[in-house]
Amino acid sequence: MPQSSPKRLLVMMAHPDDAEILTGGTLFHLKERDWELGIVTMTAGDCGSATMGKETISRIRRAEAQSAAEYLGASYTCVGLMDVEVIFNPGNLRRVVEAMRRFNPSVVIAHSPSDYMLDHEEASRLVRGATFALAVPNFETQQDSPAPCGRSTPALYYADPIEGKDPMGARIHPQFYVDISKTLARKREMLTRHASQRDWLRSHHGVDEYLDRMTTWAAAYGAECGFAYAEGFRQHLGHAYPQEPILQEALRGLVLA
């Protein structure tokens, strides 16, 4: 079991590149502040190509996610679910809890509970369920060589969805913004590691949509809070979850509530 350092943050999202797009700028700040970082995706992105088969594109995208995580200085794990089939059920929950126990985080970032894509919403439910089960000894993951049960419920945060919109188009307002002006260049570089997705969009649209769209969103968020570029987050404050603003304090000087 990894050392129980309080500065351990795990981003658990549906697909390769989600964590980079939604939280990349914040992650580089945390890395500079000596946080241990991990990225977990539910799938290997097997539907992320119009020309390659599932196995081929999954292999490519796992390698891209690994490369992006290495550029950040984070670990990378894929839970092994399939695109469009990320569903909250007991078997999938056990796999997500196992991945979480192996990293042993003190802070977890998940997708917004309301999001444009169902894979993201179900991943959010799976991760929320896993944070609760992490430190429940009688919840057994039934995996090979299971990791030890966690010691306490980690703090849970939700990254704002793309464009800050729920499935009906209504605005989701962040509880706090993080200034990513100084890390945007590294966030862009991290995204370039996902070459298959960038090339796919570039061939369809003729422009570098993949990087430019992310930058446009970060600028739109920044315009709301007075930073050049920003990311938005909300903290899960239900009963039994850490109530302290752990992530906000870790990012002291960069946060606007």
Residue with the closest Cβ to Zn ion? 15
Beta carbon nearer to Zn ion, 98 or 119? 119
CB 246, min distance to Zn ion, A: 25
Tokens of 99: 């991945």
- Report, in Å, the least distance between residue 66 CB and Zn ion: 17
Q: Which residues bind Zn ion (CB under 5 A)?
A: 14-15, 18
- When the beta carbons of 22 and 130 are compared against Zn ion, the nearer one is 22
For Zn ion, give the closer residue by CB, 79 or 149: 79
CB 13, min distance to Zn ion, A = 7
Q: How far is the CB of 164 from Zn ion (least distance, A)?
A: 16
Question: Which of 72/255 has CB closer to Zn ion?
Answer: 72
> Cβ closer to Zn ion: 57 or 255?
57
| Smallest separation, CB 19 to Zn ion (Å) | 9
